[in-house]
Structures are given as C-alpha cells and as structure tokens.
Amino acid sequence: MLDWLTYTVLAFAGAAAGFIDAIAGGGGLISVPALLWAGLPVPVALGTNKLQSSCGTTLAVIHYTRNGLIPWHELRGAVAITFVAAVLGVRAVTHMDRELLEKLVPILLVVVAVYTAANPRLGAIHRKPAIGRTAFAFIFGSALGFYDGFFGPGTGSFWMLACVLALGLNLRDATGTTKALNLASNLAALSAFAFDGLLRWDAGLAMIAGQLVGARIGSGLVVRNGAKIIRPVFIATALALALRLAWKAFAP
C-alpha cells in the first residue's frame, strides 16, 4: 500500500493527464512519470498507466458519442483492426528492437506540430476524404494500432493528423474519432498487461478518480470550443512529448 499523500498526488496527476488526453492525447507525459515517482517498477507503471488512461478515454468516448462526434457505424472496421494490431504490437515488444522508433518518433512529432502550426486552416472545416473508410481502416488501423501496442508515445497525434488529412475531418470530429480508435488500442494493451499480471490496482484506482474528472472537463471543452482549444493543446503536447522522447533517446 502507498501512503495517502502519494495517492493524492496520483489523483491530481490523473486529472491533468485525463484533461490533456481528452483534448489532444499525450497524457502519459504526466501519468507515467507520476507512477514511476510512486515507486512502481517500469512494466507495472506502464500497465497501470493503460488501466487509468483506458478509463478516462472511455468517459471521453461516451461524452463524444452523446454529442455526435463519433460515427460508430463507419468506424467498426477500423476499431476491430486497430484492436488486433495493437495486440500483435504488444506481443512483438519482446522480439523486436525499439531503438529506431525511439529516435525517429520525436522527429515525426516535431514535423506534425510544425505542420499543424504552419497551416492554421488545417482541420477548420470538413474536406473531401483523400481515401475511403475501408482503406483508412486497413492502412492506419494496422500501422497505428501496432505502433500503439509496440511503442505508443504520440499515437494520438498521429491519429489526429490521419483523420484530418485522410478522412477530411475537422479537428473537433477528428478528436472524437481519435479517442474511439485510441480506446481500442488501449484496451488491447491493457488486456495484455492484465494477462501478465502487470497492474497495480490501488495506484490505478487513485489515478482513475482524477482521470474521470479531467477527461470530463477536457471533452466538454472540445465539444463547446472545437479547434480553438484543440489546436494549441495539440501543438504544445506534440512538442512536449517530442522533447521528452528526444531527451531519452539522445541524451548521454
């Protein structure tokens, strides 16, 4: 058991992570370091992070569904493919080297952030889709689902850009679709961590209490304000995540 001060810090960290996750993804920037600070071993911290983030993402998805931001009838194939690909990604972790991704992903996140900042009309309105829903499901569901299970950081940013550029969605609707697909890969990874016994339930429940509050506030802001709140949080989160990953990958 942890002490009450630690549980309180984890709850506040969960709230902050849930708020950021609901808007732009990247809440792991806060939640994973908080779990490591609480003394959890790295594999258990990662599993527990999936537990708490899945709960916050579920609440955000429910809120977005009620407000018409998630077209489930069009996403069933993408959700299924993403789930299966994420399970394969989790299982591939012990068999493949992640060193290249650790160095490449920070660069890609900077590109995503700069591209979004340099195109202020990006995602402002709906545009004609570049590809069909079936092709989107197979291409991005397979690639980003596997990536989220295998490595993970920045998945929400990549999904957002894919939804805007490939499906022609505005940022508000892209956020809803991203959360639905993120939930699929989160649940896949969570099931793998649970099967391996890598969950710390007391720490997870403390973070879930905060996650639910943060996710509700963040998703409410997205529904009310759309791109005005999504764009700055998305750019700032992508850059912060890139900086953290680059430090881990390149610092001596």
Please tell me the total count of domains within the chain. 1
Q: Which pLDDT does position 147 carry in this prediction? A: 92
**What are the pLDDT digits (tens) for 103-123?**
888 898 999 989 888 888 888
Q: Which pLDDT does position 252 carry in this prediction? A: 62
**What are the pLDDT digits (tens) for 118-160?**
888 888 888 999 999 999 999 999 999 999 988 888 898 999 9
What is the phi-psi region of residue 153: left when phi exceeds 0, alpha when psi lies from -120 to 50, beta otherwise? beta
Q: Which pLDDT does position 119 carry in this prediction? A: 87
Handedness of CA 72, 76, 81, 83 (dihedral sign): positive
CA 197, distance to chain mean position in Å, is: 22
How much is the mean pLDDT over the chain? 91
- Per the structure, the complete domain to which residue 58 belongs is given by 4-250
**Residue 35 scores a pLDDT above 90:** yes
Q: What is the percentage of the chain residues whose pLDDT exceeds 90?
A: 67
> Alpha carbon of 118 to those of 37, 40, 113, 172: distances in Å?
37, 40, 9, 19
For residues 162-187, give the mean pLDDT: 94
DSSP one-letter string for 198-238: ---HHHHHHHHHHHHHHHHHHHHHHHHHTHHHHHHHHHHHH
